[in-house]
Amino acid sequence: MLTVPQLQAQRRRRAPPSLKQQYHEYILQRIESYKNSLSRRELLDLGNEAIAEMEAAGDQFLLTEVLLTDWVDRLIHQRLRLQPYSRWSRHFRQLRQAQREPTHWGIDRRSPVARLLPRLEPGDTALVVGIEAAPIAFLLAAHDVEVIFTGPDMTLVDQVESRVAEEALGNYCVTFVAPRSQLPSELPPLVHVVVIDTASLESEPPTVRRMLLEELMARTAPGGAHLIIPGEHALAPEAFLSLYGEWSRDDAATERRRPTRAAGVLLGKPLAAQECPPVSRGPRDASA
């Protein structure tokens, strides 16, 4: 994730994955999603169909699990009528361009997340907590951020996972069903962005909220950000500002134009001392 000085200097440190790589991952994601939608009986029937096709091909094959899997994947590819790379790449560029706009997901352009997007780099990590924060999870994934999304309700999380697959974002977003006060074990030691829907904290005692937020602050990389968005019938994001100590609030939060309640609050973690940009010295200081 770029710091503000790096953003101003346009110092990108990581390149996005190639289209060829993304196409291959898209094909694998669609095939795996199709397999997960089948019953055990349907999977066995598909395997039998693959064996019959292999025998009909007339060549002598040593039947192995890897070979059978390849033939099953080929059958699924045909059933889904997946686009060839040339056609997919044209469509993908247009789709991804649209997905990187907040309005594509119903997010207000004045949302603080819009000011965070230019700082994101491919491979950055984000934790998104709460169903009402799902649109932001999709938006971050469209910017090549590795998103971990958690929610307490399996049905709603399944809906999020289905939307991720439909939008060809499965390579960048994984979903988990987890209690509100529990972080997923797959969470890396440090993340760059945390997005919290305040409704996900509403039912927790104040001490649990504090402990959870303090752990998330500790596991946020220096220069990273927290975005707190208001949940329905829940505390306003400003209610949590006292917990953030030396973290800085986004300056745009004090714009003259009155923000909507759906905007939320964007907070930045201070840089570690060794990561702060050097202070430029004048000629007199330099000679000294």
| Model pLDDT for residues 15-28, shown as the tens digit of each residue | 666 788 878 888 88
Higher pLDDT, 147 or 183: 147
- How much is the pLDDT for 62? 63
- How much is the pLDDT for 281? 41
pLDDT at residue 195 above 60?
A: yes
pLDDT band of residue 105 (cuts 50, 70, 90) is very high
pLDDT at residue 30 above 90?
A: no
pLDDT at residue 278 above 50?
A: no
Q: Residues 221-274: pLDDT tens digits?
A: 999 999 999 988 888 899 899 999 889 988 664 454 554 445 789 999 998 744
Q: Residues 114-125: pLDDT tens digits?
A: 989 998 988 899
Domains and CATH numbers, the chain: 19-82 (no CATH), 102-272 (3.40.50.150)
CA pseudo-torsion sign 232, 236, 242, 246: positive
pLDDT band of residue 5 (cuts 50, 70, 90) is low
pTM above 0.75, yes or no: no
Count Cβ atoms below 10 Å from residue 4 Cβ, excluding itself: 13
The b/e string for 140-166 (b: 16+ C-beta within 10 A; e otherwise) is bbbbbbbbbbbbbeeeebeebbebbbe
pLDDT band of residue 71 (cuts 50, 70, 90) is confident
- How much is the pLDDT for 14? 54
**Rounded to whole angstroms, what are the CA distances from 209 to 25, 173, 195, 201, 235?**
37, 25, 14, 6, 12
| Mean per-residue pLDDT over the chain, rounded | 82
Q: Is 33 helix (H, G, I), strand (E, B) or coil?
A: helix
